[in-house]
């Protein structure tokens, strides 16, 4: 099978193409320079030299891409993902490293599952924001704070099975060590919950007629996934499974709306708004970056790319702080929201128990008082002595000098408050009160 056969059999999946091409090369195939260039582009660096391609292959698949495999028959069933904690780079293999599943035998590479590809983080290096008047917006969805679940038909088990982004159904990490069970077992706790939901509902019946498709769902736990909850502590009835999208056997990724037409299932929530120009898009992006209740939005643009359509993710800078307030009553997160002008919303997020909300209100009041006092105190020698007395001058020295130089104090005040805060609301309130009272001794009301 030459390069054209590889592209057809891999249905657009870049990892499948690269692995298949590498197998051909290792078997003695002498690839023309243009073929080498076209495949090496998928690794992020086009080259016509086969030795450079081999080096780049090793670099990407050893440093960035994680491959977890289980032996089946005369080959291996492998799932590919981007290594956690590794800085994300944007090239086709990176975009497809979201749970692609291949079967690798001595003679061939088969694409088994091709879940949704990675979106482009708006904060990422050199990430482009398309102009909606040129490349129209197809749809906008809200991120459910859960876990990706891939449903695909497993030819070896003769049934549909779930996988996560990182491991197959018969794999799980225990204290960072990968454990692998028999292919017939489902030990991955996320896959187990998804499988039980599919068994107890009509999901597997819906999927029966879609062999060759890959379906991507989001499993929503009782607590947001950002908190890393132990899902084994909850009842399966407390989880929800939402359809994200489906990929056709030819590799084309359907939109969320198109996927909904295939099976009767709840989809991830869509934003019912119209964005037709760059100014409107920028307005919404600014709003979404400060959202307290939605972790991020995904904007899919209409571009001529059936396998990896351009999807931009706009993450909220404040969502994680809001979650920390709601579930942990975090004083530091309370101060962060107050510093961005969301003090009232932060108070409402606190659990309404005992005097927690009133203490939170006092804390924010002292923070606002600090905002009035710091501009009057920051240029005095005694203020530096105050910071040294509290043992925080060294940690804040850079921010202090920057604030004095620019005459802008909000960032410094936020850093100051967070630095002296503890993990207890009452204790943090008392620390801010003492700090304010000390500064007021030196600052006259009219200064």
Taking only the tens place, the pLDDT of each residue in 161-207 is 999 999 999 999 998 899 999 999 999 999 999 999 999 998 999 99
Res 444: pLDDT: 62
- Do the domain assignments include residue 181? yes
CA distances 442 to 395, 400, 438, Å, are: 23, 19, 7
Q: What is the pLDDT of residues 334-384, one digit of tens each?
A: 999 999 999 999 999 999 888 999 999 999 999 999 999 999 999 999 999
Q: What is the pLDDT of residues 230-252, one digit of tens each?
A: 999 999 999 999 999 999 999 99
Q: CA-to-CA distance for 387 and 413, rounded, in angstroms?
A: 12
Both 169 and 86 in a single domain?
A: no
Q: What is the pLDDT of residues 6-15, one digit of tens each?
A: 888 999 999 9
* pLDDT of 125 above 90: no
DSSP 233: G
206 near 176, Cβ under 8 Å?
no
Among left, alpha and beta (phi > 0; psi -120 to 50; other), residue 196 is alpha
Q: What is the pLDDT of residues 33-81, one digit of tens each?
A: 999 999 999 999 999 999 999 999 999 999 999 999 999 989 999 999 9
Instruction: State the CB neighbour count (10 A cutoff) for residue 130.
Output: 18
pTM: 0.93
- Do the domain assignments include residue 137? no
Both 109 and 151 in a single domain?
A: no
- Do the domain assignments include residue 78? yes
* pLDDT of 447 above 80: no
> Where does residue 345 rank: exposed (0-12), middle (13-18), buried (19+ CB within 10 A)?
middle
Both 350 and 405 in a single domain?
A: yes
- CATH code for position 239: 3.30.470.30
Both 160 and 237 in a single domain?
A: yes
- Do the domain assignments include residue 447? no
Last residue of a domain, one of 221, 242, 267: 267
Place of tokens 């398309």: 130
- Do the domain assignments include residue 32? yes
- Those residues whose C-beta lies under 8 Å from the C-beta of residue 190, and which sit 6 or more positions away, are 147, 149, 162, 164, 219, 231
Both 152 and 206 in a single domain?
A: yes
Q: What is the pLDDT of residues 268-278, one digit of tens each?
A: 999 999 999 99
Closest by alpha carbon to 361, among 381, 347, 379? 347
Both 68 and 178 in a single domain?
A: no
- Looking at the chain, the whole-number percentage of residues with pLDDT higher than 90 is 91
Q: CA-to-CA distance for 191 and 97, rounded, in angstroms?
A: 18
Both 106 and 194 in a single domain?
A: no
Return phi, psi of residue 157, to 5°: -95, -10
Residue 30, token pair as written in the block: 């002498």
* pLDDT of 332 above 90: yes
- Do the domain assignments include residue 164? yes
Residue 289, token pair as written in the block: 């970056």
Residue 338, token pair as written in the block: 């107050």
Both 162 and 253 in a single domain?
A: yes
Res 176: pLDDT: 85
* pLDDT of 110 above 80: yes
- Do the domain assignments include residue 316? no
- Looking at the chain, the whole-number percentage of residues with pLDDT higher than 70 is 99
Beta partners for 144? none
- Do the domain assignments include residue 275? no
Both 157 and 101 in a single domain?
A: no
Last residue of a domain, one of 267, 297, 315: 267
Closest by alpha carbon to 79, among 100, 98, 58, 97? 100
Res 367: pLDDT: 96
The sign one gets for the Cα dihedral 439, 441, 446, 447 is: negative
Last residue of a domain, one of 267, 287, 307: 267
Q: How many domains does the chain have?
A: 3
Numbers of helices and strands, H then E, in the chain = 17, 14
Average of per-residue pLDDT values in the chain: 94
Q: State the residue range of the domain holding 415.
A: 324-442
Both 3 and 84 in a single domain?
A: yes
Both 164 and 103 in a single domain?
A: no
Residue 388, token pair as written in the block: 């040294």
Instruction: Average the pLDDT over 401-413 and give the result.
Output: 93
Both 156 and 229 in a single domain?
A: yes
Res 445: pLDDT: 55
């Amino acid at each position: 099978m030459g390069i054209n056969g590889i592209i057809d059999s891999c249905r657009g999946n870049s990892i499948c193409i690269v692995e298949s091409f590498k197998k051909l090369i290792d078997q003695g195939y002498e690839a023309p320079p243009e073929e080498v260039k076209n495949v090496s582009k998928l690794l992020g660096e086009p080259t016509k030299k086969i030795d450079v391609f081999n080096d780049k292959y090793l670099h990407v698949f050893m440093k960035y891409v994680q491959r977890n495999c289980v032996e089946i028959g005369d080959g291996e069933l492998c799932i590919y993902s981007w290594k956690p904690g590794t800085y994300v780079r944007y090239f086709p293999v990176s975009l497809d490293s979201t749970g692609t599943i291949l079967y690798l035998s001595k003679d061939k590479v088969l694409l088994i599952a091709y879940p949704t590809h990675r979106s482009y983080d708006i904060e990422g290096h050199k990430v482009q924001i398309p102009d909606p008047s040129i490349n129209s917006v197809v749809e906008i969805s809200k991120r459910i704070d859960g876990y990706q679940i891939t449903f695909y038909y497993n030819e070896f088990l003769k049934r549909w099975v779930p996988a996560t982004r990182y491991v197959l159904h018969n794999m799980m990490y225990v204290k960072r060590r990968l454990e692998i069970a028999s292919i017939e077992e489902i030990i991955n706790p996320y896959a187990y919950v998804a499988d039980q939901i599919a068994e107890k509902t009509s999901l597997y019946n819906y999927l029966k007629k879609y062999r060759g498709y890959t379906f991507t769902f989001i499993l929503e736990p009782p607590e947001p996934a950002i908190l890393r909850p132990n899902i084994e502590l909850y009842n399966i009835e407390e989880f929800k499974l939402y359809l994200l999208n489906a990929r056709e056997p030819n590799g084309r990724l359907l939109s969320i709306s198109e996927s909904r037409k295939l099976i009767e299932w709840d989809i991830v929530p869509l934003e019912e708004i119209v964005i037709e120009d760059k100014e409107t898009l920028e307005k919404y992006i600014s709003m979404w970056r400060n959202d307290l209740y939605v972790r991020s939005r995904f904007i899919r643009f209409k571009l001529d790319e059936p396998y990896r359509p351009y999807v931009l993710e706009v993450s909220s800078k404040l969502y994680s702080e809001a979650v920390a307030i709601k579930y942990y009553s975090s004083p530091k997160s309370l101060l962060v929201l107050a510093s961005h002008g969301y003090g009232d919303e932060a108070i409402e997020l606190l659990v309404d128990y005992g005097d927690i909300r009133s203490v939170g209100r006092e804390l924010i009041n002292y923070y606002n008082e600090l905002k009035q006092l710091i501009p009057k105190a920051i240029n005095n020698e005694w203020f530096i002595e105050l910071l040294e007395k509290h043992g925080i001058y060294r940690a804040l020295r850079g921010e202090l000098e920057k604030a004095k130089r620019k005459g802008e104090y909000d960032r410094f005040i936020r850093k100051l408050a967070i630095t002296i805060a503890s993990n207890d609301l009452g204790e943090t309130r008392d620390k801010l009160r003492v700090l304010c009272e000390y500064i007021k001794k030196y600052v006259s009301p009219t200064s």
